[in-house]
Amino acid sequence: MNYLYAPWRREYVTAKKSGCVFCDIASDESNDEKNFVLHRDKYCFVVMNRYPYTAGHIMVIPLQHIDNIENLDEKSWLHISLIAKRCVGMLKKEFNADGVNLGMNLGKGAGAGIAEHVHYHVMPRWIGDTNFITTIANTRVFSSDFEKIFRQLKSSIGRYVRDN
């Protein structure tokens, strides 16, 4: 059996958790810049992932605190799905992504790091963007600075995501 280690995630998985980080972000608009919030509306918000798998990895998160999509209200479900779709378009156009990973990890058993609050992951991908440097050198290689990516996406998102 082969093992693949992800030591860069240790800080996140071992950090003390108090309450829901997504609800904390949702309830405090005054810290949107600090929390890297790209967009918010009456159903959801879009935020950059602080522990990205790829440069530009963002999340679409409903305001409703819920751990399953089956009970998420219909308007929120349809809205976050539409916003995720538009974010895919934004990442393809603004980042020249060759593809985009879009998905949800529903529950701890599915790999959700924050299982108590459902959310979409939207990750731009490029041909040849993966390698073993992360595994063998405990280092992630990103093509651009995190805050620079935030500023670029923040200035672009309004063209793709509009309040409905």
**Residues tagged active-site:** 119
Question: How far, CA to CA in Å, does 114 sit from each of 63, 95, 118?
Answer: 14, 27, 8
HSE of 89 in the Cβ direction (CA atoms, 13 Å)?
Answer: 12
Which residues have C-beta within 8 Å of that of residue 155, sequence separation ≥ 6? none
CA–CA distance, 158 with 41 (Å, rounded to integer) = 12
